[in-house]
Structure 1
Amino acid sequence: MFDVSFSELIVIGAVALVVIGPERLPKVARTVGHLVGRAQRYVNDVKGDIQREMDLGDLSSLKDQMEDAARSVKTSLEETSKSLQAPLQEAKDALADASQSLHEATHAAASEPAVPDTQKSLPGFAEASALVEETHPKPPTGTPQ
C-alpha cells in the first residue's frame, strides 16, 4: 500500500513517543493496529467482491456464448434431419407403391388362368400365327416323319 522503509517507521515511532508519551503509546499503537487490520480486511473484501463480479460477468458471457452455440447446433441438427427425412419419405412412398402394385399383380395373376392368352397379350398375334399356319402347315399327329 504505502512504501515505508524501516528507518521512516523509527522516525514516526520516535515522534509518536514524544507527542503521545510513553504511558499512552502502547494503547494507541494497539488501536492503530486494529484500525489498520480492519482497513486491510475491508480492502480485501472489496477486492474479492469486485473479482466475483468480474468472474460472474465472464461466466454470464460464457453462458450466453454456450447457449448460442447450443442453439446453432440444434438448428443445424433440425435442418439435417429435415433434409434426410424428405428422401426417406420418398423412398418409403415408392416402396409402398411397389408393394401395392405387387399385391395387385399377385391378385390379378391368381384370378387369371395359369396359361396366359397370348392372343390378348400380343397385338397382331392371331394374324401372325395364321400366316405361319399357311406357310408351314403342321404335320398330322401320330405319323412319323
Structure 2
Amino acid sequence: MIEISLGKLVLLALIALIVLGPEKLPQAARTAGALMRRLRSGWDSVRAEVERELEIEELKRTAREAAARAEAMQTEMNKTARDTREQMTSAATEVRNEVRETVDEVKKDVVPAAVPATVSVDAPTDAPKEPTHGSV
C-alpha cells in the first residue's frame, strides 16, 4: 500500500483545511475514512478470495499428482501380479510334468508278475491258532 509519513499527513491536512475550510473538514475526514475502510475491506476480501483460489488450485494439483502416483503404483502391482501368476503357472506345469515322468518310470519298473494274482480272504493270516490238545 501507499506509505504516508507524518510530515506528508500534516501537509495533506493543511491543504484540506485551506481548500475545504474548517466547517466542511470534519465531514470530509469522516467520508475519507469511510472510503478508506471500504477500500481496505474490499482489498482484504479480494486478497482472501485469491488466496482461497490458490489453495484450491494447490489442492487440485496435489490430488492430480496423488492420483497419477496411485495409477502408476496400480499398474506396477498389476504387472507384478501378472509376472508372479505366470511364474506360478510355469512352476506348476514343470512339477506336473516331472510327476508324470516319475510315475511313468515307476510304472515301467514295476513287474506285473511280482504282484500276487489272487489273495485269499477265507482265513485270516493274523488270527491266533486254536489249541489242538484237549483242555478243560
Shift of 1:29: 0.8
Higher helix share: 1
Distance 2:65 2:99 in 1: 50
Structure 1 residue runs of 4 or more that deviate by more than 6 Å after TM superposition: 97-104
Is 1:25 equivalent to 2:25 in the alignment?
yes
SS at match of 2:30: helix
How is 1:38-53 mapped onto 2 (pairs within 5 angstroms)? 38-53=38-53
Shift of 1:32: 0.8
Is 1:8 equivalent to 2:8 in the alignment?
yes
Distance 1:90 1:69 in 2: 31
Which letter does structure 1 place at the counterpart of 2:61? Answer: S
2:58 — aligned with what? 58
Q: Give unmatched runs, 5+ long, in structure 2.
A: 105-111, 117-136
Cα gap change, 1:101 to 1:23, in 2 (>3 Å): same
Distance 1:69 1:53 in 2: 24
How is 1:1-145 mapped onto 2 (pairs within 5 angstroms)? 1-94=1-94, 115=115
**Higher RCO by CA contacts (8 Å cutoff, separation 6 or greater):** 2
Distance 1:9 1:71 in 2: 61
Q: Give me the TM-score of the superposition, normalised by structure 1.
A: 0.62
Shift of 1:43: 1.1
Shift of 1:95: 5.1
Shifted more, 92-101 versus 79-88: the winner is 92-101
CA distances 1:104-133 after superposition (whole Å, capped 9, x unpaired): 9xxxxxxx66648xxxxxxxxxxxxxxxxx
SS at match of 1:22: coil
Shift of 1:94: 4.9
Distance 2:23 2:113 in 1: 134
Shift of 1:23: 2.2
SS at match of 1:51: helix
Shift of 1:34: 0.9
Number of equivalent positions? 115
